[in-house]
């Protein structure tokens, strides 16, 4: 049973508040140190520092942008063709009264507005929780352009992309926008985060150009153990990713967590089996890719499918990306565009599996609850398997909008930035790596991209 703190109005539920803050920390750990370690370990040694450092920069700058304007753009009122009202929800409402918070909550989940839900925690908690989702999105995008993107261009790109690209998707699906009102569902970011970052990353990879030929031909990880450490943080941190999105401590939070890990285990095993069947041996990197695919695919569906649906999504989320990576990846388009970590496969294709999978497998018996007490609101989603083909159409429509908007928006944004600074490091800098980029090196050993000291120095 929840414990309500005895404050004026009795609105603060300490249990819900504690879980929401904790869930936010778990998601934050997926970025730092999770993806920082994964990226730092999976790239060549000469790019380890630069790759991890860009993660820390993105996490920091998105937080500043988020509390100043991007939160209100994502969860405020519409303003002409762009979402948001401007202003500053966090600094203006660090600990609102119940009525003030309910007014803000109406913008987040319109279906709950008429019930005057009381989530039991302040605006600061909600801003923090939504921030870690906003932060990880450009960090996932980064995986497609590692090994050549300029740090200086990255510094400009991230705040602008968060402002003009991420906020539109978040508002459209989560903030009371038109996709959400149509009935398109995205439980925790399959479209808003993963599909958006994948297609934006693929677009960025095309615009920025490829790595050096020698790096593209041979790009072995400098440390698979560090890669696995980052992958492990990513996997377990996802408990907050999907467990926090009912916005309260309820049955749906547990369902979301269990479905998340079930689908991920199924996906990891499926990718590994494919590698064994075709290449005769299991691959660590393949298993990590399968893990990521499962996490991505269950994200839009975690609260809408039952356990059987989670396993089906896990299997399909590995099979299709494995095929696009290993078979279609050898075709002209995928060979021309240098997507360093295959983000278009592990996040883009997997997100489509999960997003469209909701339209097929959503079980109307799985009720997602928002809020608490008499003000609760529930959302029943029925998939094609249970007689509602229209949900598939809606999911396709939502995916189409996210893809088109992110491709066009990212292309324009990068072209504009490219007018003022190079988007890519020059070949000499890429040949040397971290020492030329930052004057620092990841390991005190001598290999590609590091200077060998002269005897007597």
Tell me the DSSP string of 189-231.
Answer: SIIIIIIHHHHHHHHHHHHH----HHHHH----S-HHHHHHHH
CB-based contact 350:197 (threshold 8 Å): no
Strand partners, 164: none
- pLDDT tens digits for range 194-220: 999 999 999 999 999 999 999 998 899
Q: Describe the crossing of helices 151-161 and 123-142 by its angle, rounded to 10 degrees.
A: 140
CB-based contact 30:236 (threshold 8 Å): no
pLDDT under 70 in the chain at which residues? 1-11, 77-119, 367-379, 444-457
Nearest-angstrom CA–CA distance, 358 and 333: 29
Tell the residue number behind the tokens 């494995």, with chain if given. Answer: 322
CB-based contact 165:406 (threshold 8 Å): yes
Strand partners, 13: 4
3-class secondary-structure state, position 374: helix
How far is C-alpha 171 from the geometric centre of its chain's CA atoms? Answer: 15
CB neighbourhood size of 178 (10 A):
13
Q: Which two tokens stand for residue 344?
A: 């278009």
Determine the pLDDT at residue 444. Answer: 67
| Helix (H), strand (E), coil (C) string for 31-64 | HHHHHHHHHHHHCCHHHHHHHHHHHHHHHHHHHH
Tell the residue number behind the tokens 């990226």, with chain if given. Answer: 39
Helix and strand element counts for the chain (H, E): 22, 4
DSSP state of 83: E
Nearest-angstrom CA–CA distance, 448 and 366: 53
Q: List the chain domain ranges.
A: 15-438
Nearest-angstrom CA–CA distance, 48 and 421: 23
Which residues neighbour 224 within 8 Å (Cβ) at sequence distance 6 or greater? 41, 284, 285
DSSP state of 449: T
Strands 78-79 and 377-380: unpaired
Element (H, E) at 367: strand 367-370
How far is C-alpha 130 from the geometric centre of its chain's CA atoms? Answer: 11
CB neighbourhood size of 325 (10 A):
21
Nearest-angstrom CA–CA distance, 285 and 291: 10
Q: Which two tokens stand for residue 177?
A: 């926008």
Sign of CA dihedral 277, 278, 281, 283: negative
Sign of CA dihedral 211, 212, 218, 223: negative
- pLDDT tens digits for range 8-26: 455 677 888 999 999 999 9
Nearest to 304 by CA among 397, 196, 183, 123: 183
Return the ∠ at Cα 440 (arms to 214 and 438), rounded to 5°: 75
Determine the pLDDT at residue 175. Answer: 86
Q: Which two tokens stand for residue 379?
A: 């959302």
CB-based contact 298:354 (threshold 8 Å): yes
Cis peptide before 207 (omega within 30 of 0): no
CATH 3.40.250.10 fits 15-438, yes or no: no
Nearest-angstrom CA–CA distance, 57 and 83: 26
Strand partners, 378: 369
Determine the pLDDT at residue 109. Answer: 36
Nearest-angstrom CA–CA distance, 67 and 86: 11
3-class secondary-structure state, position 77: coil
């Amino acid at each position: 049973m929840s414990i309500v703190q005895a404050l004026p109005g009795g609105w603060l539920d300490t249990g819900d508040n504690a879980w929401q803050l904790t869930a936010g920390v778990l998601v934050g750990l997926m970025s730092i140190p999770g993806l920082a370690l994964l990226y730092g370990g999976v790239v060549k040694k000469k790019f380890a520092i630069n790759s991890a450092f860009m993660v820390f920069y993105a996490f920091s700058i998105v937080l500043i942008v988020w509390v100043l304007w991007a939160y209100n753009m994502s969860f405020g009122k519409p303003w002409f063709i762009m979402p948001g009202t401007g202003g500053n929800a966090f600094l203006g409402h660090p600990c609102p009264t119940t009525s003030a918070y309910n007014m803000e909550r109406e913008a987040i989940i319109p279906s709950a507005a008429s019930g005057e839900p009381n989530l039991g925690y302040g605006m600061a908690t909600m801003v923090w929780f939504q921030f870690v989702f906003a932060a990880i999105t450009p960090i996932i995008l980064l995986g497609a352009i590692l090994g050549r993107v300029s740090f200086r261009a990255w510094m400009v790109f991230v705040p602008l992309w968060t402002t003009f690209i991420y906020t539109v998707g978040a508002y459209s699906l989560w903030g009371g926008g038109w996709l959400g009102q149509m009935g398109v569902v995205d439980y925790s970011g399959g479209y808003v985060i993963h599909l958006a970052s994948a297609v934006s990353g693929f677009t960025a990879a095309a615009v920025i150009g490829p790595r050096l030929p020698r790096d593209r031909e041979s790009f072995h990880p400098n440390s698979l153990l560090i890669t696995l450490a980052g992958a492990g943080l990513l996997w377990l941190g996802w408990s907050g990713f999907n467990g926090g999105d009912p916005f309260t401590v309820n049955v749906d939070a547990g369902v979301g967590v269990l479905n998340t890990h079930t689908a991920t285990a199924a996906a990891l095993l499926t990718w590994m089996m494919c590698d064994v069947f075709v290449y005769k041996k299991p691959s660590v990197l393949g298993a990590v890719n399968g893990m990521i695919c499962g996490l991505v695919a269950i994200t839009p569906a975690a609260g809408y499918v039952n356990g059987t649906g989670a396993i089906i999504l896990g299997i399909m989320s590995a099979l299709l990306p494995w095929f696009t990576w290993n078979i279609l990846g050898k075709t002209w388009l995928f060979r021309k565009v240098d997507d360093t970590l295959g983000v278009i496969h592990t996040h883009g294709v997997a997100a489509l599996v999960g997003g469209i999978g909701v339209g097929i497998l959503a079980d109307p018996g799985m009720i997602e609850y928002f809020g608490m007490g008499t003000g609760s609101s529930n959302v029943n989603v029925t998939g094609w398997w249970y007689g509602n083909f229209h949900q598939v159409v809606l999911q396709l429509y939502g995916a189409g909008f996210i893809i088109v908007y992110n491709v066009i928006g990212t292309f324009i944004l990068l072209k504009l930035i490219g007018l003022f600074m190079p988007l890519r490091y020059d070949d000499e800098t890429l040949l040397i790596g971290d020492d030329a980029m930052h004057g620092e090196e990841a390991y005190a050993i001598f290999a590609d991209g590091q200077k060998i000291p002269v005897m007597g120095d």
